Amino acid sequence: MKSIKIIPIQTALYEGERGELSLAIGNFDGVHRGHQAVIGEAVRFAREEGISSGVVTFHPHPRTIVLGEEAPVLTPLPDKIDLIEALGVDRLYLIHFNKEFSTLSPASFIQKIILPLGVRHIAVGFDFRFGHKGEGTANFLRDFGKDRFSVSIVAPVLDGEEKISSSLIRSLILEGKVEEVIPYLNHPYFIRGEVVHGEKRGRLLGFPTANLHCREQYLLPASGVYGVKVKHGERFYSGVMNIGVKPTFQGEAKTTAEVHLLDMEG
């Protein structure tokens, strides 16, 4: 399986990492079915035309800079890369989103960032916004690209009458309705973490306990107990995860995730 090539946008612009491309552009937090449709359209065009497919995405999430919100995300960057790679994308162009970048006008974003990549086709969602204060729209992109590149504006993906969106998925997870997001993501919601030593109370009850330390800032479900599948190495184990708030020595409240493994000894 060919691996995706991850290219910081500065490298692409200044060191010649470019070529004929079919691009999908977006934040793609969660890489849900709506995002998959946009990225899939870019990949489809690339394969039909015999050119490379790419995704342009942003890190950190623009709302962190624009609104000053340090909000957890559905898919931290390493997970987002893995999910995009699984869709058959050749290249991922990573834009470091900062205050300076947020002031680019829609036209400047296209002229300075997109056109130099050698783009022939762009796929975006119907509600795509870009440029300073989100002034650019999908229709603006299509009009600007006339005689330069073609644009596919992908319609919303519905589950019944519900429009699949990152905000919908976030709200369901925060309410603890993790099973309801599976059809929106095409897979169960997951978090990755390192096992750290805990109080080992579970072992005294006859099953091991794994306390998870997440390097990335995941959006955690509401406090409660959830059935989980835990992947360790190449094996999966059944378990239950307890998410709750514990006080720290500094007197602060800290949300913790503790997994009790039901079919693993030791």
Only one residue has tokens 């599976």, namely 182
In a domain, 173, yes or no: no
Yes or no: say if 72 and 196 are a contact pair by the CB < 8 Å rule: no
Residue 207 pLDDT more than 70?
Answer: no
Give me the percent of the chain exceeding a pLDDT of 70.
89
pLDDT single digits (tens) 73-112: 999 999 999 999 999 999 999 999 888 998 999 999 999 9
The model's confidence at residue 247, banded by pLDDT at 50, 70 and 90, is low
User: What would the DSSP string read from start to end of the chain?
Assistant: -PPPEEEEHHHHHHS----SEEEEES--TT--HHHHHHHHHHHHHHHHHT-EEEEEEEES-HHHHHT-----BSS-HHHHHHHHHTTT-SEEEEEE--HHHHT--HHHHIIIIIGGGTEEEEEEETT-EESGGG-EEHHHHHHHTTTT-EEEEEPPPEETTEEP-HHHHHHHHHTT-GGGGHHHHTS------EEE----HHHHTTS-EEEEE-SS-B-PPPSEEEEEEEEETTEEEEEEEEEEEEE-TTS-EEEEEEEEESS---
Last residue of some domain: 110, 135, 159?
A: 159
* pLDDT of 131: 94
Domain residues for 12? 5-159
Instruction: Judge whether residue 251 has pLDDT over 80.
Output: no
My answer on whether 200 and 140 are in the same domain is no
In a domain, 182, yes or no: no
Instruction: Classify residue 56: in a domain, yes or no.
Output: yes
Cis omega (within 30 of 0) for bond into 221: no
183 domain-assigned: no
What is the domain-level CATH number for residue 58? 3.40.50.620
Residues 26 and 142 in one domain: yes
Q: Distances from the Cα of 108 to the Cαs of 89, 116, 125, 244, 252, in angstroms?
A: 26, 12, 20, 46, 44
Are 20 and 93 in the same domain? yes
Q: Give how many domains the chain has, as a whole number.
A: 2
The pLDDT mean for the chain works out to 89
User: Does the residue 125 lie in any domain?
Assistant: yes
Res. 250 pLDDT band, cuts 50 70 90:
low
Do 153 and 198 share a domain, yes or no?
Answer: no
CB 3 within 8 A of CB 99: no
Q: Residue 62 — very low, low, confident or very high, per pLDDT cuts 50/70/90?
A: confident
* 16 pLDDT tier (thresholds 50, 70, 90): low
Above 60 in pLDDT, residue 266? no
Q: What is the pTM of this model?
A: 0.90
pLDDT value at 47 more than 50: yes
Whether 208 is covered by a domain: the verdict is yes
Assigned domain for 172 exists:
no
Q: Pick 19 or 144 by higher pLDDT.
A: 144
State the CB neighbour count (10 A cutoff) for residue 229. Answer: 10
Same domain, 68 and 135: yes
The confidence band for 1, taking pLDDT boundaries of 50, 70 and 90, is low
Task: Please tell me the distance from the alpha carbon of residue 147 to that of residue 14, in angstroms, as a whole number.
Answer: 25
Q: Is the pLDDT of residue 197 over 70?
A: no
- Beta bridge mates, 228: 239
Last residue of a domain, one of 135, 159, 183: 159
Boundary (domain end) residue, out of 107, 136, 159: 159
Asked if 153 and 238 sit in the same domain, the reply is no
Query: Residue 151 forms beta bridges with which residues?
Result: 122
Which pLDDT score, from 0 to 100, does residue 199 have?
Answer: 54
pLDDT surpasses 50 at 226: yes
Same-domain check for residues 80 and 208: no
CATH number assigned to the domain comprising residue 206 = 2.40.30.30
Instruction: Give yes or no: residues 19 and 126 share one domain.
Output: yes
Region 144-164 average pLDDT: 96
Residue type, 120: R
* Inside any domain, residue 170: no
Supply the pLDDT for residue 260. Answer: 87
pLDDT exceeds 90 at position 265: no
| pLDDT range class, residue 205, cuts 50, 70, 90 | very low
198 and 151 inside one domain: no
* Rounded average pLDDT over 37-41: 99
- Is there a single domain that holds both residue 203 and residue 252? yes
